[in-house]
Structure 1
Amino acid sequence: MTLKGKKIPFYLTLAVLLHISASVYAEEATQDFTLETIVVTDSRIIGEGETTKVTSLNVKDKIDAGQIKSVTDLLQDVPGVVVTTSPQSGTSVSMRGMTNERLLVAINGNVIENQGGLYRGRALEWDSLPVNNVKKIEIIRGASSAQYGGTWGGVINIVTVDNPGENKTYLKTSIGSYGDRKYSLSNQGTTENGKFSWTVNTNKRQSDGFYRNNFLDSHDVSLNMTYNLTEKQKLSFALTDSHRKEGTLTGNNQDANNENGWDPDYPEVPIAPAASMAKGSQYLDGSYRKLHTKNYALNYSDDVWKMSVYKNKQDRNDWLIYSGVKGIYVDTPALKTDNSGYSLQQSRQFGPHKLIAGLDYRELNFDVVTSGPSSLKAELNGYYIQDNWQVNAKTLLGLGVRYDQYQANNLLTATEYSDTSQLSPKFNITYQLNSREALYGSASRVFRAATVSDFVRWQSNYAPSNVNSSNYKKYIV
């Protein structure tokens, strides 16, 4: 089955973009300000466009000292962002009360598709995003940005290093409790003429784990290369390859129903995956999960245009050991996620107006290889235009609109969704009270396409009795 949803011709979008004249009104640039975006940099958190520091966070020193092990460690001190970690379901991030499935995560503006809380609660493998190359993290709260569609809680954009500066190579190691060991080797540099720069990082981490059978063995490599074509034109390529193996939490208690028994060297925990599980359905020691994540991106930018092409792939394999009537048996579910896309954006300054227009294309392919396999292919075409209008010295007005078109082919239910679309207006206003305080308000309409879990979670006992009259249809679109 193929996707047959109608698409807006590409040349129409280009016509809209190119219609923005190259001429710019000659006047002094006014200082923009907004509380919409918070930037986590190497030394502090600041509101984008503000001159005052909001919260102190010395990220660079923490990374150099080995205190930062993942991207989520950088988010823990950001107001309104909640990071939770479970030995069974991994790390999750929520913002403004919205969970993983209501957020967008991007690397250098390229969206990593969120598969939703799926198979033991994982929506996004945060721990598979190497932290060494992080330059800053941009956080856009809410749904007021027309550039990023499909989010209620906001956007977390991870920006990597593109200009490392001096040439150097360094080796770092750190150790911690419960057998935690981390090693990293990095090389960075810039050519003498300043045209070409690079950063290469490789990391390895091992840990015995605090809980029983909760070990960790991971290694990754990341590469960033930037070539300055001219003073304003830049071409960059980024690659990440991450391998992660982690033990699956197993029960450790003196309950007679616990098949793993009691080991006093570890904390007491209930039977897994649930305390009520009978014998034969409990995870046994030796169970684990393996993740292989690869990210590729090619980006071009100048003072007017931004273009990017990207691909993110992840293979996940579980090795779950159970006891059965005929002896030990192993369940080996496999999940494959492959998302790719491209984006094109143009920005122009017309006096107090800064216009941004662009297109955003995403494609997701997802497969579950189990006794009950499923497969999904989905496409999202987004077109947007936004005006950031500096009304006066104290007032900044944001006006935008985004059109999204979504098509999905769910092989599990042999259902094809096509021509599902929506026009989403965006409005926000910021009023500067004084040098340290401002008022911010926004109102936006949001189109949220279905995540993978929205489809897959209906495959068993959650299936509605009457699909046409249930909330299932509303939930999907």
Structure 2
Amino acid sequence: MSSKIGNSVRISPVALAVVAAIANQSVAAETTEEALQLDKYVVTATQTSHELTTAPASMSVITGKALQETPVSDISDAIRHSEGIHLEQKGSNGRRGINIRGLSSAYTLVLVNGRRVDSNVSLIRGNDFDLSTIPVDHIDRIEIVRGPMSALYGSEALGGVVNIITKKGTNRFQGNASIDFSSPFGSDGGNETRNSISLRGPLVENKLFYSLSVDAQHRDAWTPYQDDPATANAQEDKLSPIEKKELYSVAGNLNWKINDQQTLDLDITHNKDERDGEFLQGSKSSITDQEIRRYTYGLTHSGQWAWGDSQLRYYREDMNFTERGASGAGKMEQTNQTVDGFVSKLLGDHLMTTGAEYRHTKLENARDFKTSGEATVSQKAVFLQDEWLINPKWSFTLGGRLDDHEYFGTHFSPRGYLVYTPTTALTIKGGVGKAFKAPSLLQLTEEYRLKSCGGSCFLRGNPDLDPEVATSYELGINYQQPGWHVGATIFRTDVDDLIQLQSSSQVVNNTRTYENVDAARIDGLELSAGVDLTRTVSLSANYTYTDARDKNTDEILHKRPRENANVRLDWQVTDAMGAFVRTHYVGEQEDSIKGKGDVDLQGYALTDVGVTYQLTKDLQLRTGITNIEDKTQDYDSDYGFSERGRTVYAGVSLSF
């Protein structure tokens, strides 16, 4: 395995890791950053730096530049067109989750600069608030790992990891201000605006740097069935398949370069996210009215020493939820505190990384914890990783993590990954890993009671639950030449002890609980390719096939499209103007519909077109239309959700 610096120098990732480990945390001189081209390198797979194509994992990267081309409400919009990704609909109010390789969003771990983001302890229904945590203009890139990463990150990384890496300040002052607007065709609402400003630069040259971003979004509820004579009753006229949203985010970073070996980062974010809408739940309408206020603080010390590298950090999330709606009015406070760190040292041809983590979560919820009003859980972990450069063509990464959970005890997650680069153009890699997902605090706590069954029963936690566990295998090949590339990956994931909510027929004393019952097998294939058709026109595409089945019955798992595909054509019309057209295809899937049983849902395609124009060196204009064919599903159809219809967008960005 090798990495390329510029066009001529080749070094191993092991050596690169010593030079540029923890790249997302440190601030180097601008000339060094340009020479190393660090944007071509990723850190999420190992917590050390690797070239994207030879990283020991299946990975994709979304750049900050790509985020500016189309309207992006949250992270799900940004990564929707990546291979292996499907946006699952979390209810009928327009909320979405990130499904990776056929595993639901509950198995996708969201990180910010490697720090876990987690509000799922408080809300178990339709929770997508974590995807709106960071202002879009504060994002430098998004790294996506497809496949299990519990060997490094523990629970929730069973399906994959989405790591949001933010911008850092340098010695050069930089700023950006953006205004974006989008509006569905017609008079049914759904208008969305986003205003943002981002500033970065030095407070003390060569010593102290800052980065600050502010983002404000407003989205009206989209009510395409208003005054529709086909609706069953007047109540449905108000239904909003996309709910109203008010979002305000502030993210800041201070980076102190203590000396040539040490840096100290202070990260502070504040996020306020309000949702309001009325949607169809079964045969009834349901009102959602929720608000989350999130405060995050992080302090990170990074060191690059003669003997190796180190990182030590503390971070804390304070979240206040207000909920009004189907589950009843209530207020919840969740606090997550984490201390973690690692050290990396080069021993011959082995880059050894070892670390530890301690997490403590406290939830205060008088509505659903009738006796004590709160619940807590603590967990700790240690991990060890060996990146072995066998020779210039072969490398092997072996690691494992031991988690100790307050409720269910210890769990070990090993992982091994082999990378072979016979030439600079060809990479063959594959591996096997075990991962787990711990039951949530609500699922584990017997005292917990939440209204369910339309208000006729309660959900109760089950302290006897075991973690869900998975074993995954993958083998991939990638070939790159100037002007074109192709890649293919096959994968299999076996999941046992899936946690499932008891069916309505199992209600006892008006109570339902959770149980370990299911086992699943997911087989899949990912294909990707790109080619420069001319000097100014390029074509790229990816395709994912997923066969997800119950291992006991061989029945197809619901709400998992068998196919997903993306095709994109880019045209650099002039030096200042660029245009694109892209199509996103969601294949057939199966679902269980009350009164109908299992139903096959037909696939559909969404096509977007867009134009960007660099009016001046610092001023960029963009416009386009998403879902140009106006493909939507009827709200009362078997889908249970509706894609937003044909929408026009426009935006302007000023750099300074």
TM-score by length of 2: 0.54
- Residues 352 and 144 of structure 1: CA distance in aligned 2, closer, same or farther (over 3 Å): farther
One-letter amino acid matched to 2:207: K
Aligned to 1:74: 78
Q: Offset at 1:461?
A: 5.6
- The 2-side partners of 1:42 and 1:466 are apart by 46
Unaligned runs of 5+ in 2: 1-9, 16-22, 25-36, 184-189, 224-237, 450-456, 467-496, 500-513, 518-656
Q: Does structure 2 retain, via aligned residues, the 8 Å contact 1:241–1:295?
A: yes
- The 1-side partners of 2:300 and 2:369 are apart by 39
- The 1-side partners of 2:178 and 2:462 are apart by 57
Local SS of the residue matching 1:72: helix
Aligned to 1:49: 51
Aligned to 1:224: 253
Higher mean C-alpha deviation, range 192-201 or range 381-390: 192-201
One-letter amino acid matched to 1:67: P
Q: Offset at 1:382?
A: 0.4
One-letter amino acid matched to 1:345: F
Residue 317 (structure 2) pairs with residue 312 (structure 1): yes
Aligned to 2:182: 176
- The 2-side partners of 1:396 and 1:134 are apart by 31
Local SS of the residue matching 2:78: helix
Q: Offset at 1:67?
A: 2.8
Local SS of the residue matching 2:51: coil
Aligned to 1:425: 414
1:276-331, Cα deviation, whole Å (9 max, x unpaired): 23xxxx435xx52211111111111122110110011222212338xxxxxxxx93
Q: Does structure 2 retain, via aligned residues, the 8 Å contact 1:240–1:296?
A: yes
Local SS of the residue matching 1:115: coil
- The 1-side partners of 2:256 and 2:389 are apart by 34
1:7-46, Cα deviation, whole Å (9 max, x unpaired): xxxxxxxxxxxxxxxxxxxxx963459xxxxx99997797
- The 1-side partners of 2:463 and 2:312 are apart by 44
Q: Offset at 1:406?
A: 0.7
One-letter amino acid matched to 1:317: T
- The 1-side partners of 2:433 and 2:330 are apart by 40
- Residues 444 and 462 of structure 1: CA distance in aligned 2, closer, same or farther (over 3 Å): same
- Residues 298 and 114 of structure 1: CA distance in aligned 2, closer, same or farther (over 3 Å): same
2:160 is aligned, of 154, 157, 167, to 154
- Residues 232 and 136 of structure 1: CA distance in aligned 2, closer, same or farther (over 3 Å): farther
1:60 is aligned, of 57, 64, 73, to 64
Aligned to 1:246: 275
Local SS of the residue matching 1:125: helix
Q: Offset at 1:447?
A: 4.3
Aligned to 2:217: 205
Q: Offset at 1:93?
A: 0.8
- The 2-side partners of 1:57 and 1:406 are apart by 32
Q: Offset at 1:170?
A: 4.3
Residue 131 (structure 2) pairs with residue 102 (structure 1): no
- The 1-side partners of 2:54 and 2:39 are apart by 13
Q: Percent identity?
A: 18
Local SS of the residue matching 2:444: helix
Aligned to 1:354: 351
- The 2-side partners of 1:123 and 1:456 are apart by 23
Residue 328 (structure 2) pairs with residue 339 (structure 1): no
Q: Does structure 2 retain, via aligned residues, the 8 Å contact 1:137–1:159?
A: yes
Local SS of the residue matching 2:437: coil
One-letter amino acid matched to 2:346: Q
How many residue pairs end up in the alignment?
397
Q: Does structure 2 retain, via aligned residues, the 8 Å contact 1:70–1:131?
A: yes
1:54-97, Cα deviation, whole Å (9 max, x unpaired): 99977433444673332223322321122345562623112122
Aligned to 2:387: 388
- The 2-side partners of 1:129 and 1:231 are apart by 30
- Residues 146 and 114 of structure 1: CA distance in aligned 2, closer, same or farther (over 3 Å): farther
1:439 is aligned, of 409, 425, 428, to 428
- Residues 317 and 462 of structure 1: CA distance in aligned 2, closer, same or farther (over 3 Å): closer
- The 2-side partners of 1:406 and 1:339 are apart by 15
Local SS of the residue matching 1:147: helix
- Residues 220 and 395 of structure 1: CA distance in aligned 2, closer, same or farther (over 3 Å): same
One-letter amino acid matched to 1:443: V
One-letter amino acid matched to 1:30: S
Structure with more strand by fraction? 2
Aligned to 1:139: 144
Aligned to 2:283: 276
Q: Offset at 1:462?
A: 5.9
- The 1-side partners of 2:375 and 2:463 are apart by 22
Q: Offset at 1:371?
A: 6.0
Aligned to 2:264: 235
Q: Does structure 2 retain, via aligned residues, the 8 Å contact 1:110–1:308?
A: no
- The 1-side partners of 2:179 and 2:119 are apart by 32
Aligned to 1:414: none
1:240-279, Cα deviation, whole Å (9 max, x unpaired): 10112221233xxxxxxxxxxxxxxxxxxxxx3x2323xx
Local SS of the residue matching 2:73: coil
Local SS of the residue matching 1:230: coil
- Residues 116 and 312 of structure 1: CA distance in aligned 2, closer, same or farther (over 3 Å): closer
Q: Offset at 1:348?
A: 0.4
Aligned to 2:96: 91
Local SS of the residue matching 2:417: strand
